[in-house]
Amino acid sequence: MLIVTTSQRPAKEHILLARRLASQLKAPLVKRDRSIAQLLKVHKAAEAVVVSGAGVRWVTAEGEPFFFHPNMSAVRVRQLRKGGEDSFLQAAQLRPGDHVLDCTLGLGADAIVAAFAVGVEGRVLGLESQPVIAALVEHGLQTYEVDTPVLKEAMKRVEVRCVDYRDFLPRCPDDAFDVVYFDPMFRHTVKRSSAMQSLRRLANMAPVDEAMVREARRVARRRVVLKERPSSGEFARLGFQVVKEASSFAFGVIEKGGEGT
C-alpha cells in the first residue's frame, strides 16, 4: 500500500501538492504526526510519497529514497554546449525540430538531452509505466532548480505520460515520431550508482520484445534506438546493429525500412 504525506510542519503549497499527488496516485493522503517509519506501520503501508521543503521523495522503511534530479543530463548538456559529443545523440542522430518518443523514461536524463537537441520546435514525449516514477519525474522536470537556463528550458519541454509503451505503441499512427527510443532497465546495474539502485526498486524490469520492436519500426519515421549492455545479447535477439559502444553500455539502431544500418 502507498500513502502520501508531508513534512511535520508543511507549508500550504506542500499540502496542496500532496493532495494533488494523492489524487494522481490514487493513494490516501495521511497527516504527518510521527516519523515515516511509524506512519508506515500505523497505516500498514509499505511505501510513502513525502512532500516537504526539500522536494518530493518516495520512501520505504528500508533502502535509499527515490527522488528526481537531473542526474548526468546537466553534465551532458554542458559538454554539448562546449562543442562536445554525446553517445546517445550520435546513435539517435537527432536534429532540431525532431519528434522523439522515449518509451522508457525513468529519471529522464536522455529525454532531457533529447529535448535540448531538438530545440523549441521539436517534441520529446516520455512514457513511464510506473505511476510513482512518472509523478515524481513529471513534477521534478517542471520545478527542479538548475543554474543553466537552457537546461531548465529543456527539462520543461519533456512531456511525461504515465502509460506502458506496450499499450501506447500499438495505438500510434505510422511515422508518428522521427525516433523511437528504448532504454530498458539493465538487469545488472552499476552498484556504485545509488540513484539507479533506488530506481530499480520501482521500475518495470520487463525486457523489450520483438512485437514492440515491430511496432516501434512502424511508428518511427527514421530510426529505432536501443540502449543495452554490450554483452547482453539483446541487440542480436531484437535485430539491432550496434553503432556506439562504451565500457558499460552500447547503442543499437534499426533504420526505417530495414534492419540495422
Supply the DSSP string of 228-256, one letter for each residue: E-TTSSHHHHHTPEEEEE-SS-EEEEEET
Residue showing cell 506496450: 166
Distance, in Å, from the CA atom of 104 to the CA atom of 207, rounded to the nearest integer, reads: 11
pLDDT for residue 204: 64
pLDDT for residue 84: 94
pLDDT for residue 186: 47
pLDDT for residue 14: 96
pLDDT for residue 167: 97
Nearest in space to 158 (alpha carbons), one of 111, 192, 119, 202: 111
pLDDT for residue 205: 67
pLDDT for residue 203: 62
pLDDT for residue 74: 94
Q: Which cell is 72 given?
A: 548526468
Cα R_g (the chain), whole angstroms? 19
CB neighbours of residue 154 within 10 Å: 26
Q: For each of the chain's 261 residues, which pLDDT tens digit applies?
A: 999 999 999 999 999 999 999 999 999 999 999 999 999 999 999 999 999 998 999 999 876 789 999 988 999 999 999 999 999 999 999 999 999 999 999 999 999 999 999 999 999 999 999 999 999 999 999 999 999 999 999 999 999 999 999 999 999 999 999 999 999 864 444 445 455 555 656 666 678 999 999 999 999 999 999 999 888 899 999 999 999 887 788 999 999 865 554
**Structural domains of the chain in order of their starting residue, each with its CATH number:** 2-62 (3.40.50.10480), 73-255 (3.40.50.150)
Helices within 119-243 (DSSP H only): 131-143, 149-157, 165-168, 194-200, 210-219, 234-238
